[in-house]
Structure 1
Amino acid sequence: MNKTISINLGGFFFHIDEDAYQKLSRYFDAVKRSLSPEGRDEIIKDIESRIAELFQERIKNEKQVITLSEIDEVIAIMGQPEDYKIDEETSYSNERTYTSSSKTGRNKRLYRDKDNAILGGVASGFGHYFNIDPLWIRLGIVLIVVAGVGSPILIYLLLWVIVPEAITTSQKLEMRGEPITISNIEKKVKEGINDISDKINNIDHQKIANSARSGANQIGATLSDLFLSFFKIISKVIGLFIIFFSAMALLGILIGSIFMIFSSSLPDSYIFNNFHTPLDFDVPMWIQGLLLLFAAGIPLFFLLVLGIKLLVTNMKSLGNNFKYSLLAIWIVALIGITYLGIQQATAVGFEGKSVKKEQIFIQPTDTLFVRMQYNNYYAKSLYERENHKYTHDENNKEIIYSTKVRVHFLKTEENQPFLQVERSATGKSHKEATSRSEKIRYNFDIQGNRITLDNYFTTAFGNKFRDQEVNIYIYLPNGTYVKPDESIQDYDRSDNDFFNLHYDSDEYIYQVEGNKTICTNCPVEDNDEESDNEDEDTVEKMSIRVNNKEINIDVTDDRLRIEAE
């Protein structure tokens, strides 16, 4: 049984067993002995940081203990100190090239290169990433600005904030796509030391040449600090908003989906009457709940993590395995929703209807009375409305009850009025939709000049709800008198250009005159709106009596005519 030791490596705490700790200590001692004193501390610090990153990639949780196997894997990546001999001419060379021959790009990451920066180092970073000279990137930005295309300055500032700066030696090696090994770390550190030494030796010769660039760099550094501070504040505010809204939305999705998942134990009547989902009820509610949770919840979860990362810059990564697993589940959920959505669309892709026509025989001087009635078994008032409701009829049979009934008054050229009832529904084929419409049970009654219409219809529960509705068309010949009951008001869907039902009273009688139905006994104020809509060439007449003589005054098209009798 080995002891477990807690160590601090590169700013991170790890639990390591005693044998692994001893081997790691011997490895660091060997590295120190192989390094020259110049820059040794910085090299060791970078090596520790890199090894800490490798340990983090290999542990699944904070309590996992690092063993000899993890130490061997890390040493295999970093290499043994005695395996590396650095060529002085190549190690200390100051020349930087951007060809693809020395960069494999296998482990390359995007950073800002402040060592070769004019402002923020964005162009230099992209130059390393794409293996091109940053000069071409800078020229491209200048040309875009001159051409006035897009907002390159804003994009540059955003990249300045988003792309991290390569600070450590490991990050600079990653930026160039070079393996992070002991030899490369030592090489990079010594290059930096030689750069500083050369600059000190040549400072007198370069003082005048670099004065302008130094001033530009100072201005750039100041602007960089200002922009970074500003965008950091903006990013924090944006992060707070993202966290708040994504958390609220995710909470709602969680509650709704969990309720749907566990609603399978509820009665069918409760689900049918209280749940309204885009998918058919043939799909179990628990499946719909899972699809909702994964399809909407996973993007909201990642959005929440993004908001937290904007606030907490050193937040630990979720791990690639976890992220890719969530991505795979999300894709499967989207595929499931797409498939079920297509199934639902095809289930209501066709509309069918069945039509029943009934002749109404009345005298030209008769008034046609129309009223709606309800069944007090299903409702206690004419004004109780249900688009679709699962219930039972008087014989305790499962049915769908609906008040989706519409009344339309229209004109006909026939001599007698007639009534036409159209029952409609949808289905995956015209034949199925028509068959489903024929199964709608709707009643009406015609007794002489009185029409009584049900305000509801029913259909068997097995027919499902497929946009079933009933439309009643009452065709009226010219000159017909009609008196709609007050109960018609909420069901009337007539074209107002032909029949404009007044809602103040159910005592009004209407008559079809030409292409319009007029109210014969409405108060003057109720007809004011209709009078205002008449054409300007409407004839106005007025009669007055003077000295027992009647004078008729007609105004037609702005012409005045006066006749005395």
Structure 2
Amino acid sequence: MKKTFTINISGTIFHIEEDAYEVLQKYLINLKNHFGGDEEGKEILSDIEARIAEIFSAKSDNDKNVITLDWVNEVIQTMGTPEDFAEEEGEDDSIVSETKRKRRLYRDPEHRVLGGVCGGMGAYFNMDPVILRIIFAILFFATTGAALLAYIILWIAVPKASSTTQRLEMRGQEATVKNIEKSIKEEVKEVKESYQKFKESDTYSKGRKSVEGAGDVVYNIFKVILKVFVVIFGVVLIISGFFGLLGLISSMVIGHSFVSSWPLIWSPEVYVPDILNYFVEPGTVTFGLVLVGVLIGLPLLALLFFGTKLVFRYKSNNAAIVLSMIGVWFVSLIVLLSLSATQVKHFKDRSSITTSQVIDCDSCETLYLNIAENKYEDYTKLDADIEGFDVYVVDGEEVFVGEPELDVVRSSSDEFVVTVKSVSRGSSRDEAKENSQRVIYHFNSNDSTIVFDPYFFLAKDDKWRNQEVFITVKVPEGKTIYLGEGMQEIIYDIENTSNTWDKDMIGKYWEMMPEGLTLKEAK
């Protein structure tokens, strides 16, 4: 038994004997070398392979039939070889290509008006398709439309000549290599001639001029729109840059920007220089402000520069200006980071100090906790986002005040006790402890009532070092506290047996029980 292979010819799978495969492979390679690798040659080879697949399929009764050497030789003899028709170069082409075979009816898609029925019938009967179209038109009126029904039936029933082999069969020609090559070359030549006639026609010339004219109009419109957009964008940059610089300067000088509410304006709200004195050491504020001004001002100045360039289109050495601004900006950033690093060291260590006071009220069963009046409530509060601190403007000066936190816990003795824990940071533990000792906080006790200040203060000339104040009211078991109105300002996450929120604990009595602080029911 001979060795067989499975091959794919034009999308169809075949089984072929080894010796037949070798001969077929050489034949196809010979054809490929002859026709070359251009688009026209590829199309010829594709049609030849389709014809070979068609012949093999016709010979195969089922999928088990194997292509033999005799089949391959028969196909080669039918299709012809490049050597065969190369010898016929000197003969008349019409004689060579007129190998006749039985015609088959197809629809001709290349010479169609509607479905190609008349074109296919013209090729089948060797007639001019125009004559057949005239006949169909006459029959349409003579038969009151019955001819149209016949045309539609033929359109549906007759297959379309989609391949070169089918187009040759439509004309009664054998699908040999020579005829396939000639058919495709004639089709390519016809397409080129039609395109050339179209290019030379008045329609093409007028159409091209119309398209070019329309393109010029569209280009000019877009060009004008782009120029207008660039000018508008430049004006926006100029306004933003100018008023941004104005807002920055006013923030630096008077402490706030007076153009912050204007539209299209980006103006930084920098509360300087007074507030900065609470954070950094003396002598560094002015230098730091200059660096901040450069870091914020240069981008705003760049907006102003590019905006005027877009609007007024003046010439300048853009590269030199841009590189200079970038260089100055980066130098300022490095210096500011170095300066900031020297200030960060003041937050290195943390320390605290705690003071305790026993409430002198031996016979008190209930301790009333109230908050003192907020004397800064009527003053302007600056929108300075500093955690745990508020800034008020009092008589033209900024006052820096902190917000304490109050908690209630069980007392280990039979007395009410209030502890105040002041926490601060510093460059060392000793410095942090000294800062904690200078934190100022007051509360007043009178018999069974304690009034807590809503704020704590820093000592004069002290800097902000993340100071905090924690107040703890220690309640003996069996005794009660009352949280007065306003205490929600300073109480923080007081634990109780009912998990009541801080603000809902206000205005109620709470008794310290063994299980914890418990709401006391009114009698």
Q: Which structure has the larger Rg? A: 2
Q: TM-score, structure 1 length as denominator?
A: 0.42
Q: TM-score, structure 2 length as denominator?
A: 0.45
